[in-house]
C-alpha cells in the first residue's frame, strides 16, 4: 500500500505565528521566520562561506514546513557573488501544505519583497501531494530543491546524496519524537561528507545523545531571539560507521565531455541534462535526422501508472511523469516550446473488474485532483462527449506529446554544447586510457570522450557487449484516420489501445503489440486490429473508414526487458564480475564492478516519454556526484546490472564463463 499523504492544516496563533494543530507546535519563532532561518541554519552551518568557490553544495533538511529555511538559503546564495555553481537542497516533509496554503502561509510570514518573489516561484512549481521525491529547479537550474514527501524514518534511508550541511528542523522533540530518533540521525550520517556540518535550534538531551551516537560532534552556541542555546557541529565519527561511502562525482567528470549514442527522446534528454551542467556532448545518430525510429511517431501518449500496491513500476512512472512535466515547462519557459496536448487524458477501464482495480488504486493513493480524478461511466461519457462502456481515470496533466519536436527542443536547449554527428554508425566501442573511442566499421575513431551514454535501444546491448541483458523487440503499428472518419475527441483516450486527436484533424490510433516481430512493412491486419480495439474502447468514435489498404500508418519497434523496466545507469563490467563470481554471489548493486564511464539509457519500451527525462537526470546526477532524483530502491530496479546480480545470486555464472 502507498504511504498516503495527510496534508498540513493552515492555522495561525493570535500573534500571527504559523502553528500545527496536529503537533501542537509552531513552525517558526514569533520573532521572525526568515531571521530565525538565517541565524540558526544559514549562519549555524558557516554559510555562505562554506559553499564559496564550490561546484556544488548540498544541504539536507528534516522538516520543510513552508520552506522558510529554503527561501532564506536561496536568498543568501543569490546575494553571494562567490556562490557555488549549483546549490542542492533536499528536504523531507511528512505533511506538506497544499499549493495555495503554502502560498498564503509564506506570504503571511515573508515581508521581504525579494523573498516574496521566490515564494511565488516555489508555489508555482509546487508538485501534487503524492508520495516520493519531487525535483524542482530555480534560477536556470542552479538552485535545485528535492522535496521528499513522506515519513522521515522511512524516506531518509532511501536517499542517495553526499551532504555538506544538515538543517535539523521540525517540531520540538517533545512534540515529534520520531524526527529526532537515533534512526533518523544514522540515516543522516550515511549521507554526510567528511566535513559536513549541522545546525539545530534544539539543545535537548535527546538530540545530543542521538547526535553523539550517530557520529556527530556538537557544541552549544547562542540561540535565536533570546533563546539560551542551540546546537551546531560537524560529522566526526570516532570509528568507521558505514560500509559504503556516499556518492562522489565521476573521477573524470572534470573534463565534462561525453558521447551520447542514439538521438531519440532518451538520448536527447541526456544531452539536455548534461549540457545544463556544463558538459560538452557529441550526439551520434545513424539516421539522417534525430528522432527517426520510435521517437519519430506522430505522437505518443504520456501518463502515470496507478496500482493499489504502489509497486516499483507505479512509483517510477509517477516520478518520471512529474519530473518530465517540470522539465518540459522549463523548456517552454526557456523559449523551446514543442507540440503537446494540454487538455488532459482519460484512461478508460476495459471491464468492470478493471474499473474496480482503478478505483482501489485511486483510493489507496489518495490522489489529489491535480494528479488524477476517478470518473464513473457517466462522468467519462460527459468528459469525452462520446459513449463509453466503463469509467476510468482522468489525468489532467497527461496527454500526447510529439516526440520528434521534444527531441528537437532538448537539443536546442543544449545550444553550442551539443555537436551532432548524423548518418554515423558506431560499429564498436574501445577504451584507450581514460577515453572511450567510438569506432566505425573500419576501426576509425568517430569521436572520443571519457564518458559514453548508450541510448540506442536494442543496439546498446551489442555495443556494450552485455551477455546478461536480454532485450526483446516489440513491433508496434499505428494507424492514421482521416478527420471525416471520426467524431471529435477532446483529448487523448487510452485503454486497450489509444486514440489521439492530431492538430490537423487526423486521428491517430494504435498500437499493435507484436513481440519478436521485426517486419517494418505496414500491414492491413494491423490497421484492422487497431480499429477493433478503439471501437471497443470508444464505440461512437469511429465512423466510416476508407479501404484499409489506403490508410496511412507507421511501424516502429520498442525494446523491452523481461521485467518491463528501463535500463538506466552505469553498466557492469561483466568480465570482471564473472571472474569473481563466487565472491560476488551475495553482491548488492553497490558492490558490483562497473565499466568506467559507460552508462545506459535504453529499454524504455512504450514509456520513453515518461521515463526519458528522469533517466537523464539520474545519469547526470550520478556523473556529477549530486543527490539522486529517485530513491535507491527505484534506481536499483532500473540498474542495467540487475540481471547480472540475479544471475550471480542464483550462481548461474562462474569464472569458466
Cα–Cα dist 112/260, whole Å? 45
Q: Which CATH class is domain 19-235?
A: alpha beta
Provide the pLDDT confidence category of residue 29 given band limits of 50, 70 and 90: confident
Cα–Cα dist 608/474, whole Å? 14
Question: Looking at residue 1, what is its pLDDT?
Answer: 64
- Give residue-wise pLDDT tens across range 611-637: 999 999 999 999 999 999 999 999 999
| DSSP states along 209-243 | HHHHHHTEEEEEE--STT-S-EEEEEE--SS---S
* Closest-CA residue to 303 (of 611, 636, 542): 611
Provide the pLDDT confidence category of residue 242 given band limits of 50, 70 and 90: low
Provide the pLDDT confidence category of residue 653 given band limits of 50, 70 and 90: confident
* pLDDT at residue 586 tops 90: no
Query: Residue 192: helix, strand or coil by DSSP?
Result: strand
* Closest-CA residue to 510 (of 565, 558, 566, 555): 555
- Give residue-wise pLDDT tens across range 84-108: 999 999 999 999 999 999 999 888 8
- Give residue-wise pLDDT tens across range 157-175: 999 999 999 999 988 899 9
Question: Looking at residue 612, what is its pLDDT?
Answer: 98
At residue 283, what are phi and psi to the nearest 5 degrees?
-100, 120
Question: Looking at residue 657, what is its pLDDT?
Answer: 56
Cα–Cα dist 378/397, whole Å? 21
Cα–Cα dist 361/568, whole Å? 27
| Domains 19-235 and 255-293+404-470+563-649 in one fold | no
- Give residue-wise pLDDT tens across range 317-360: 999 999 999 999 999 999 999 999 999 999 999 999 999 999 99
* Closest-CA residue to 198 (of 188, 206, 190): 188
* Extents of the domains making up the chain: 19-235, 255-293+404-470+563-649
Residue 285 burial by Cβ neighbours in a 10 Å radius (0-12, 13-18, 19+):
buried
Number of H helices, E strands in the chain: 18, 30
- Give residue-wise pLDDT tens across range 455-485: 999 999 999 999 999 899 999 999 999 999 9
Percent of the chain clearing pLDDT 90 (strictly above):
85
Measured at the CA of 398, the angle between CA 397 and CA 404, to 5 degrees, comes to: 115
**Domain 255-293+404-470+563-649: homologous superfamily in CATH:** FAD/NAD(P)-binding domain (3.50.50.60)
Cα–Cα dist 99/102, whole Å? 5
* pLDDT at residue 654 tops 70: no
Question: Looking at residue 24, what is its pLDDT?
Answer: 87
* Closest-CA residue to 551 (of 495, 480, 609): 480
H or E element at residue 283: strand 280-284
Evaluate whether 146 touches 91 at the Cβ level (below 8 Å).
yes
Other CB atoms within 10 Å distance of the CB of residue 158: 18
Question: Looking at residue 584, what is its pLDDT?
Answer: 86
- Give residue-wise pLDDT tens across range 349-398: 999 999 999 999 999 999 999 999 999 999 999 999 999 999 999 999 99
* pLDDT at residue 202 tops 80: yes
Residue with cell 492544516: 9
Q: Count the alpha carbons within 13 Å of 7 in the hemisphere toward its beta carbon.
A: 16
Question: Looking at residue 432, what is its pLDDT?
Answer: 95
What is the separation, in whole angstroms, between the first and last Cα of the chain?
41
- Write out the three cell numbers for 423: 548518418
Provide the pLDDT confidence category of residue 656 given band limits of 50, 70 and 90: low
Burial call 123-148: b when 16+ CB within 10 Å, e when fewer: bebbbbbbbbbbbbbbeeebbbbbbb
At residue 485, what are phi and psi to the nearest 5 degrees?
-95, 0
Provide the pLDDT confidence category of residue 16 given band limits of 50, 70 and 90: confident
Measured at the CA of 476, the angle between CA 472 and CA 482, to 5 degrees, comes to: 170
List strand residue ranges (DSSP E) for 163-202, in order.
163-168, 192-200
Across the chain, mean pLDDT equals 94
- Write out the three cell numbers for 632: 535507491
* pLDDT at residue 600 tops 90: yes
Question: Looking at residue 109, what is its pLDDT?
Answer: 80
Amino acid at each position: 500500500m502507498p504511504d498516503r499523504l495527510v496534508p498540513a492544516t493552515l492555522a495561525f496563533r493570535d500573534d500571527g505565528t504559523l502553528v500545527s494543530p496536529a503537533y501542537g507546535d509552531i513552525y517558526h519563532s514569533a520573532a521572525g521566520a526568515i531571521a530565525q532561518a538565517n541565524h540558526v541554519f544559514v549562519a549555524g552551518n558557516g554559510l555562505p562561506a562554506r559553499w564559496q568557490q564550490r561546484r556544488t553544495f548540498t544541504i539536507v533538511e528534516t522538516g520543510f514546513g513552508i520552506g522558510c529555511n529554503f527561501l532564506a538559503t536561496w536568498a543568501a546564495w543569490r546575494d553571494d557573488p562567490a556562490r557555488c555553481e549549483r546549490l542542492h537542497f533536499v528536504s523531507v516533509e511528512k505533511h506538506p501544505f497544499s499549493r495555495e496554503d503554502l502560498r498564503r502561509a509564506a506570504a503571511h510570514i515573508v515581508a521581504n519583497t525579494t523573498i516574496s518573489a521566490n515564494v511565488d516561484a516555489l508555489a508555482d512549481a509546487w508538485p501534487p501531494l503524492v508520495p516520493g521525491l519531487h525535483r524542482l529547479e530555480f534560477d536556470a537550474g542552479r538552485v535545485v530543491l528535492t522535496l521528499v514527501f513522506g515519513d522521515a524514518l522511512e524516506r531518509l534511508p532511501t536517499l542517495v546524496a553526499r551532504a555538506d550541511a544538515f538543517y535539523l528542523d521540525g517540531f520540538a522533540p517533545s512534540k515529534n519524537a520520531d524526527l529526532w530518533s537515533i534512526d533518523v540521525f544514522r540515516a543522516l550520517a550515511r549521507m554526510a561528507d567528511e566535513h559536513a556540518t549541522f545546525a539545530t535550534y534544539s539543545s535537548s538531551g535527546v538530540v545530543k545523545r542521538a547526535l553523539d551516537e550517530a557520529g556527530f560532534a556538537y557544541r552549544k552556541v547562542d540561540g535565536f531571539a533570546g533563546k539560551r542555546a542551540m546546537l551546531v557541529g560537524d560529522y566526526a565519527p570516532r570509528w568507521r560507521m558505514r560500509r559504503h561511502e556516499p556518492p562522489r562525482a565521476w573521477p573524470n567528470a572534470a573534463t565534462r565531455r561525453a558521447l551520447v549514442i542514439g538521438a531519440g527522446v532518451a538520448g536527447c534528454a541526456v544531452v539536455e541534462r548534461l549540457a545544463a551542467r556544463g558538459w560538452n556532448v557529441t550526439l551520434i545518430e545513424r539516421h539522417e535526422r534525430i528522432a527517426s525510429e520510435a521517437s519519430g511517431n506522430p505522437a505518443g501518449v504520456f501518463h502515470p501508472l496507478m496500482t493499489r500496491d504502489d509497486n516499483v513500476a507505479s512509483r517510477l512512472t509517477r516520478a518520471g511523469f512529474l519530473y518530465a512535466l517540470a522539465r518540459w515547462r522549463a523548456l517552454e519557459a526557456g523559449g523551446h516550446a514543442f507540440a503537446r496536448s494540454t487538455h488532459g487524458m482519460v484512461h478508460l477501464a476495459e471491464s468492470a473488474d478493471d474499473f474496480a482495480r482503478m478505483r482501489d488504486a485511486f483510493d489507496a493513493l489518495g490522489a489529489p485532483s491535480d494528479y488524477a480524478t476517478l470518473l464513473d461511466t457517466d462522468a467519462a461519457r460527459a468528459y469525452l462527449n462520446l459513449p463509453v462502456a466503463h469509467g476510468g481515470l482522468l489525468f489532467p496533466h497527461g496527454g500526447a506529446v510529439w516526440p520528434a519536436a521534444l527531441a528537437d527542443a532538448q537539443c536546442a536547449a543544449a545550444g553550442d554544447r551539443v555537436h551532432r554527428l548524423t548518418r554515423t554508425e558506431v560499429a564498436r566501442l574501445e577504451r584507450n586510457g581514460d577515453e572511450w573511442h567510438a569506432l566505425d566499421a573500419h576501426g576509425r575513431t568517430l569521436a572520443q570522450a571519457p564518458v559514453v551514454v548508450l541510448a540506442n535501444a536494442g543496439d546498446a546491448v551489442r555495443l556494450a557487449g552485455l551477455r546478461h541483458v536480454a532485450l526483446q523487440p516489440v513491433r508496434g503499428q499505428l494507424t492514421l484516420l482521416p478527420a471525416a472518419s471520426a467524431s471529435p475527441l477532446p483529448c487523448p483516450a487510452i485503454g486497450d489501445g489509444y486514440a489521439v486527436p492530431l492538430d490537423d484533424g487526423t486521428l491517430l490510433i494504435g498500437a499493435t503489440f507484436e513481440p519478436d516481430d521485426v517486419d517494418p512493412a505496414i500491414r492491413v491486419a494491423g490497421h484492422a486490429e487497431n480499429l477493433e480495439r478503439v471501437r471497443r474502447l470508444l464505440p461512437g468514435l469511429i465512423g466510416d473508414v476508407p479501404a484499409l489498404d489506403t490508410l496511412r500508418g507507421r511501424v516502429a519497434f520498442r525494446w523491452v526487458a523481461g521485467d518491463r523496466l528501463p535500463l538506466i545507469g552505469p553498466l557492469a563490467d561483466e568480465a570482471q564480475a564473472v571472474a569473481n563470481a563466487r565472491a560476488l554471489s551475495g553482491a548488492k548493486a553497490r558492490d558490483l564492478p562497473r565499466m568506467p564511464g559507460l552508462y545506459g539509457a535504453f529499454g524504455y519500451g512504450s514509456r520513453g516519454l515518461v521515463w526519458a527525462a528522469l533517466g537523464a537526470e539520474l545519469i547526470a546526477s550520478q556523473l556529477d556526484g549530486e543527490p539522486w532524483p529517485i530513491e535507491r530502491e527505484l534506481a536499483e530496479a532500473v540498474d542495467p546490472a540487475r540481471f547480472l546480480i540475479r544471475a550471480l545470486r542464483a550462481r548461474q555464472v562462474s569464472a569458466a564463463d
